[in-house]
Amino acid sequence: WNGVKDVICETVQALNGMPSGHLYAQLMGLMSLDVYNKMLSELKQEGRISESGYFLTAIEKAPA
């Protein structure tokens, strides 16, 4: 589960953000919409992804 979340964050970061629907369209054969929404919710709660107007942006953590 965490590996999938890492790949999602890396993908969003590599593309400098992307529409949530476009990301789900690429994943819909692998997971249900409910699972996708739960995963995004967790990523937002963890502070790894932000969403504004259905546009996802990866949040880079400051170096420790």
Asked whether residue 1 carries a pLDDT value surpassing 90, the answer given is no
What pLDDT is recorded for position 64? Answer: 58
Q: What mean pLDDT do residues 8-25 have?
A: 96
- pLDDT for the residue 46: 94
pTM for the full model?
A: 0.87
Q: Which pair of tokens denotes residue 27?
A: 């994943």
CB of 25 closer than 8 Å to CB of 36: no
Band of residue 2 on the pLDDT scale cut at 50, 70, 90: confident
pLDDT confidence of residue 42 = 96
The pLDDT of residue 62 is 55
Angstrom distance (rounded) from CA 5 to CA 47: 12
